[in-house]
Structure 1
């Protein structure tokens, strides 16, 4: 069975989350430097069966695209060309960073670890993936 992989795309690094093979549980996997993301994804799908990429769609409060969307579009085009057999779905990612930070507080993660932006990105990717699974 194949997994679903979610990406919280950022200008410096991207959070990655993945489902279990049954597509029931979303778990944070890692954080990848944005410049290395495409190569990392190619290597990952060579080892693991992935049936879908879910990529966060950053929007402003009133629904218009954020500035980050201009960075995501070229990546999506490259991803589609490089791994054409895996479809891409977009999910509204408004408030995921805030939700990730709140989750860290609720989990009792120390202040020092909460400053780790990579961990926030990974948790944000997990929230994006959970949202997708919830709305299936």
Structure 2
């Protein structure tokens, strides 16, 4: 119901060396970055999620999760998402102002990122400026024919999807 997917094109390269992959074609990022990514659009009561596979070919908006400010409940939900997907990296939306400066909300997200890192110690965590992702998500949902309620239900995960797509398009900066 909430799944939204897009595909990304890539130029294939020939694998060199010996072995069963010699001469086969593979997406370069699948070789360089063998980890799926879970994007998180954090909120005080609800979080949006999106995922990309290891090859960075398919991105999907996942169902948003209402945690009602219960971080333990949110972390248990994240654990359930990880059980279903091959993820080694979290991409967390950092709300910066239009000039790129931190805001009160970005300080809250930084605290969340620190606690996420404590809970999921073996995972890499990156933050990325999420400015404008919610407006873009709402616009896409309107273009798909969703009304006010449909937009409200889906916009957090679609914002995570926009965040993930922007990060991928920027070359996956650290």
**8 Å contact from structure 2 (residues 53, 86) kept in 1:** no
Higher helix share: 1
TM-score (norm 1): 0.88
Name which of 29, 34, 58 aligns with 2:62: 29
In the alignment, what sits opposite 2:137? 100
1:110 aligns with 2:143: no
Aligned to 1:14, which of 32, 35, 47? 47
Aligned counterparts of 2:110 and 2:129: Cα–Cα separation in 1 = 15
Secondary structure of 1:131's partner? Answer: helix
CA distance in 2, matches of 1:11, 1:112: 20
Q: Distance in 1 between matches of 2:92 and 2:86?
A: 17
> Is 2:96 the counterpart of 1:44?
no
Q: Trace 1:79-90 onto structure 2 (pairs within 5 A).
A: 79-90=116-127
CA RMSD of aligned residues (A): 1.7
Distance of 1:47 and 1:6 partners within structure 2:
15
Q: Which structure has the larger Rg over C-alpha atoms?
A: 2
Q: Which residue of 1 aligns with 2:23?
A: none
CA contact (8 A) 2:37 2:52 kept: yes
Question: How many residues align structurally?
Answer: 134
What runs of 5+ residues in structure 1 fail to find an aligned partner? none
C-alpha deviation, 1:19, in angstroms: 0.9
Report 1 or 2 for greater relative contact order, CA contacts < 8 Å, sequence distance ≥ 6: 1
Q: Which runs of 5+ in 2 are unaligned?
A: 1-33
